[in-house]
């Protein structure tokens, strides 16, 4: 069964969602991210994707206190990302309770730094963030597009030891129009042992079932929960059915 990973995106300490990574298209869903995280845990979720959107824009960790609060008061395995650029950012993230971190922009702009983290912490702790629009990598909270081809980018880093990738199709993110299943199938056909985490576009449980049938190991979703398209009861039942 595909692993279900809900997302909490943070701006000003609040739980928000953007549409297609656009900061001007922001909607706040809850002022208390811990409350949201606890509700996920109460319904059987074991892993959380926590994104520091302030950090992504500022290019350094900002919302580490939110991370610390959730890590202290839940048992969730937390993957944390957004603005991690320096060894000190990573130290703060791990000391604040992150089990894993995701590096996206840093892997494009400073590959030596990213690879040093991969070598120091291991591929079980360092996830490659591959955010793409039209199969080209975007960075800095999706504010910058690059000419870097997604598939080449992935092949290069997988060859250097990356084993976990979060791949987000920016055109799909926050739009509730379905995931880029064909893209994920293309990636897995080239890298069948990759722990690929699909992100973007999930609108309902049928989308998750589709990704599962396509062999995608894990999925991140957010807006579908916050808009009520996927209920916590549905998530709980899905987890129970797979035990």
The residues annotated with a catalytic role in the active site are: 9, 131
Element (H, E) at 18: strand 14-19
β partners of residue 169: 132
Among the residues of the chain, which ranges form H helices?
Answer: 33-42, 53-58, 64-73, 87-95, 105-109, 111-121, 150-159, 181-190, 205-213, 223-226, 232-241
Q: Does residue 228 contact residue 19 with C-beta atoms inside 8 Å?
A: no
Q: Does residue 58 contact residue 86 with C-beta atoms inside 8 Å?
A: no
The structure tokens listed for 72 are 């202290």
Q: Residue 36 in 3-state DSSP? A: helix
């Amino acid at each position: 069964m595909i692993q279900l990973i809900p997302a909490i995106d943070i701006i000003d300490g609040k739980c928000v969602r953007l549409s297609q990574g656009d900061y001007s298209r922001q909607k706040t869903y809850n002022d208390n991210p811990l409350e949201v995280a606890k509700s996920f845990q109460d319904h059987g979720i074991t892993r959380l994707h926590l994104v520091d959107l302030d950090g992504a824009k500022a290019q350094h960790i900002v919302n580490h206190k939110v991370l610390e609060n959730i890590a202290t008061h839940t048992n969730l395995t937390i993957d944390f990302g957004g603005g991690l650029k320096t060894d000190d950012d990573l130290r703060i993230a791990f000391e604040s309770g992150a089990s894993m971190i995701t590096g996206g922009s840093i892997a494009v702009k400073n590959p030596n730094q990213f690879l040093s983290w991969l070598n120091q912490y291991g591929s079980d702790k360092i996830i490659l963030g591959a955010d793409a629009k039209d199969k080209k990598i975007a960075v800095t909270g999706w504010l910058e597009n690059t000419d870097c081809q997604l598939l080449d980018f992935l092949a290069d880093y997988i060859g250097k030891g990356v084993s976990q990738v979060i791949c987000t199709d920016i055109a799909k993110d926050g739009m509730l129009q379905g995931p880029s299943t064909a893209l994920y199938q293309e990636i897995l056909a080239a890298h069948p042992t990759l722990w690929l985490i699909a992100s973007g576009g999930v609108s309902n449980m049928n989308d998750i079932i589709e990704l599962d049938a396509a062999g995608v190991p894990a999925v991140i979703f957010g807006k579908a929960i916050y808009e009520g398209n996927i209920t916590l009861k549905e998530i709980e039942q899905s987890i129970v059915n797979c035990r």
